[in-house]
Amino acid sequence: MTDQLQIERSAQSWAFTLNRPDKMNALNSPLVEALLQGVGDAHASGARMLVFQGVGRNFSAGFDQGDLDSQSDADLLLRLVRVETLLHLVASSPCLTVAFAHGRNFGAGVDLFAACRHRYSAADASFRMPGLRFGLVLGTRRFGDVVGYAKAREILEQTRQMSATEAADIGLVTRLVEADGRADAVAEALQVATLLDPTTQQHLYRVLERERPDQDLADLVRSASRPGLKSRILAYMSER
């Protein structure tokens, strides 16, 4: 495990805190692998609720683009596959999943937020998914499931930023919660998480949430394996 991820465990709830404040909690390989391991361990422990949050100025800036110079298209593809694997693991979790967003959030960070069932946001938060600017389809279908396909298409085609208020209006954010209200929100969510027995809760999630891991992964790989991924990302970064 890495110190880039802090984990607090109890019998019923595990909290995962992204701890790369100097990098806006961007998702590099060690952090993604730590999340995959941690979420898997939480599932094995029989936890009823998972909480995701970030320290510093924001929840997550998404896919870490800081070391692109040393990476090939193939390296980037593998990293993206691992991110999609994480998103599916969270979205299909047998636990109630809770995320808290604040500050500026981008790309895979927004996808991780959207993969959770209870999505709380501070009023200062913003959300933007620019991946289509460099041809990347990641978390796209899942975002459409959350906000509706017409609204998802409008936002993703424009790759525009959403405020917390707009995100709440369209259903990406379930409730606005400031930092001083997080403890109460977690306590309320834990009551919900433990109201049903585990088997019934998992059955409910399976019936209502139709994850399509094979199709989602195939869509990602098709988009990311097109030659020139690294060049497209670098071109996007130069335009910002």
The CATH code belonging to domain 5-193 is: 3.90.226.10
- Model confidence band, residue 209 (pLDDT cutoffs 50, 70, 90): confident
Element (H, E) at 199: helix 198-208
Tens of pLDDT, residue by residue over 181-208, are: 999 999 999 999 999 999 999 999 999 9
Tens of pLDDT, residue by residue over 57-103, are: 999 999 999 889 899 999 999 999 999 999 999 999 999 999 999 99
Nearest to 97 by CA among 2, 26, 16: 16
- Model confidence band, residue 239 (pLDDT cutoffs 50, 70, 90): confident
Helix (H, G, I), strand (E, B) or coil at 53: strand
User: CB-hemisphere CA count at 13 Å for 215?
Assistant: 6
Structural domain boundaries of the chain?
5-193
Q: 14 with 8: CB under 8 angstroms?
A: yes
Laid out side by side, the sheet with 175-176 consists of: 5-9, 13-18, 49-54, 96-101, 118-121, 175-176
Q: 128 with 160: CB under 8 angstroms?
A: yes
Mean pLDDT, the chain, rounded, equals: 96
Q: 235 with 130: CB under 8 angstroms?
A: no
